Structure 1
Amino acid sequence: MTPFAIAGVQMYVNALQSNVDGMIQRLDILMARFPWTQMVLFSELAPYGPLDRFALPQDNETLEKFQQAARKHRVWLIPGSMFLKNSEDGRVYNTAVVINPEGEIIRRYSKMFPFRPYEAGIAAGTEFCVFDVPEVGRFGLSICYDIWFPETTRQLTSQGVEVLLNPVLTGTTDRDAELAIARATAAQFQCYVVAVNGLGAGGVGKSCVVDPTSMVLHQSAGQEDMFPIEIDLSMVRRQRETGMKGLGQVLKSFRDRSTDFSVYDRNSGTDAYLKTLGPLEIPHQGTRAGLHVDVPSQLIPEAPTFKGQEATLPFSSAPESIGTEPMPNASAGTANPPSDAQTTAAPAAAMPNLPVKPGIFTDTADSSSG
């Protein structure tokens, strides 16, 4: 085994005042209650909330406070993310830092997919975040909406990432979709996913930890929650070699693929349909966008030809030598039994009423909501 204890902190986030002292206080409580914790992850934009008017310089006193807290508790710390203004280009990025137990900032990561068009004015990062915990394993960082784009996780896991850390700020009705994405990501890329959402101005909660088999190890509800979970990195390595439950070996299958995907070549023309979609903008009241009658075949008359397409024969051109499919073996239970077979009906008392719905049985008064 290669055990490692990660704790998520799902906490109330205020949009109009600093949450930094509250974060450090919760970290103190967490480490007092669960001193075996080795890494702590807060939610996206937890320190100052979702308003970019509170953007700070790249180097600031808040980061120094978090560095001191990590050093005090000898813990790896990812204190969510903050809006930071780049001193070179003057643009604002949604940036997370990784602080080691010595209190050193070893990585900075800026969100690659700001939630546009709603996060207008926030610049997109272009560099991935991968870091190693010595003698434990390799970790990667993505922020909230990044996980909706599997290419980001593909890049990270292709570089050996075994645990995906995903600070989130989702206060909208699509949080359940994100929970499904977290499970799918864990299975597709054979990794742990630790997704921490906030409360109040920081989200609707429902943080989760998912293992490489897509099993949910923990899911928070809608209240404050500190959840230390011990994961096992050897489970990731075993599954990547033998497959999930001895089945799909997806990373090796992708490595050994016979096809390259032209959609990622912006000059290939494969994405012609995407260019017919309207601008990336917030819908307005009464919008009629998407209600036109055009279908892809009308927008792009010539469908692309894919490799191997010509090898597929239409049904009408199947060789005449293919005979009629034989009937099932009558004695195999898939057809009527032979006419000379003896059948005896079971006594009525020996045949219990079959369930119509979980908790609801025919001819009984027993029922449940199902």
Structure 2
Amino acid sequence: MVTGFLLAGVQMEPVLGDIPANIAKTSYWIREAAARGARLVVLPEASSAGYVFADRAEAARHAQPVPDGPTVTAWAQLAEELDVWIVGGVTERDGDGVFNSAVLLGPTGHVGTFRKAHLWNDEKDIYDPNRDGFPVFDTPLGRIGIGICYDAWFPETFRSAALQGADLVVLPSNWVPVPGQPAAVPPMANLLCMTGAHCNQCYVAGVSRIGVERGQAFVGRSVLVGPDGWPLAGPASPDREELLLAEVDLVGSRAGRLNNPFNQPLADRRTDLYVVDGPAVS
């Protein structure tokens, strides 16, 4: 197991519908991160083909199989060449299914795929939902859980990963402006990443895109958060491509994280009191 390594978050702007251009851009950033010593590189949501599709049919035209499609194949080759791990967002096709997905790749190839669980806005008409839950992948770097963007708005995303022993929750994202956001407070997405990390005693990497796509603005502000809930790197700028880097120790920090004498949000849970399911509030 690896004790201590450099985590990289790539804040960038994909090109809508241009898979070769996005392979070139993401490959540049993966190489840049590796050259600066990173062992795990996180790319935004929908890095393979952009995000603002008009409908399901357009998304399907730009979707690709995993792990054999051109984007994941290119990333896997880089992971092997550079001896790095990569998490990146991909528009996935599986038979007739279309998914907003994220892949985890290592030096020996494809480790796993996560499909977005909580579909936001018109994503419900474009993508099929995750039906496989929140897997945690055991790697030499540590145990890695994945969510995608809107998944961070649900505490169950972080808790599901933490209860399976996740050391790090990675969130490839396309964060958009939140209505009513006061200028004097951090973006809602940053607050959710910080809270998710603190309440689940794990690291969190929220890595978003920038730019405007078909009139939809994206806010950037990517952030890498420590298990105490405080940012290790970022928030990044709202409008510039950049690389965030933070030193993390997923394996070596486990005992200290889980045995904090002051607060243990996992160990101190009162599951005998919680409402775990019920009717939706109307």
Name the TM-score class by shorter chain.
0.7 to 0.9
Question: What residue is the counterpart of 1:217 in the other structure?
Answer: 232
Deviation at 1:227, TM superposition (A): 1.7
Inter-partner Cα distance in structure 1 for 2:194 and 2:177: 19
Inter-partner Cα distance in structure 2 for 1:190 and 1:86: 34
- Give 3-state SS (helix, strand or coil) of 1:154's partner: helix
Which range moves more in the overlay, 208-217 or 175-184?
A: 175-184
Which range moves more in the overlay, 68-77 or 15-24?
A: 15-24
Question: What residue is the counterpart of 2:253 in the other structure?
Answer: 235
One-letter code of the match for 1:28? R
Inter-partner Cα distance in structure 2 for 1:237 and 1:224: 36
One-letter code of the match for 2:146? L
One-letter code of the match for 2:27? I
Higher RCO by CA contacts (8 Å cutoff, separation 6 or greater): 2
Question: What residue is the counterpart of 1:100 in the other structure?
Answer: 106
Structure 2: any 5+ residue segments left out of the alignment?
A: 54-58, 180-185
Structure 1, residues 238-273: CA drift from partner, whole Å, max 9, x if none? 12112xxx321110012x5332425x1xxxxx426x
Q: Do 1:131 and 1:139's aligned partners in 2 also have CA atoms closer than 8 Å?
A: yes
Match of 2:63 among 52, 55, 72: 55
Deviation at 1:236, TM superposition (A): 4.2
Given the superposition, is the C-alpha separation of residues 129 and 258 from structure 1 closer, same or farther in structure 2, using an over 3 Å criterion? closer
Deviation at 1:43, TM superposition (A): 0.3
Q: Do 1:20 and 1:48's aligned partners in 2 also have CA atoms closer than 8 Å?
A: no
Superposition pairs for residues 1-370 of structure 1, below 5 Å?
2-18=3-19, 19-32=22-35, 34=36, 36-50=37-51, 51=53, 52=59, 53-58=61-66, 59-78=68-87, 80-87=88-95, 90-102=96-108, 104-127=109-132, 128-134=134-140, 136-173=141-178, 176-200=187-211, 201=213, 203-219=218-234, 220-222=236-238, 223-233=240-250, 234-242=252-260, 246-254=261-269, 257-262=271-276, 264=277, 270-271=278-279, 274=281, 276=282
- Give 3-state SS (helix, strand or coil) of 2:103's partner: strand
One-letter code of the match for 2:176? G
Inter-partner Cα distance in structure 2 for 1:173 and 1:150: 18
Inter-partner Cα distance in structure 2 for 1:29 and 1:186: 27
Deviation at 1:118, TM superposition (A): 4.8
With normalisation by structure 1, the TM-score equals 0.65
With normalisation by structure 2, the TM-score equals 0.85
Aligned length: 257
Higher strand share: 2
Structure 1: any 5+ residue segments left out of the alignment?
A: 265-269, 277-370
Deviation at 1:139, TM superposition (A): 1.1
When Rg is computed on C-alpha atoms for both structures, the one with the higher figure is 1
- Give 3-state SS (helix, strand or coil) of 1:120's partner: helix
- Give 3-state SS (helix, strand or coil) of 1:57's partner: coil
Inter-partner Cα distance in structure 2 for 1:30 and 1:161: 23
- Give 3-state SS (helix, strand or coil) of 1:194's partner: strand
Q: Do 2:224 and 2:244's aligned partners in 1 also have CA atoms closer than 8 Å?
A: no
One-letter code of the match for 2:265? V
One-letter code of the match for 1:235? S
Inter-partner Cα distance in structure 2 for 1:213 and 1:251: 13
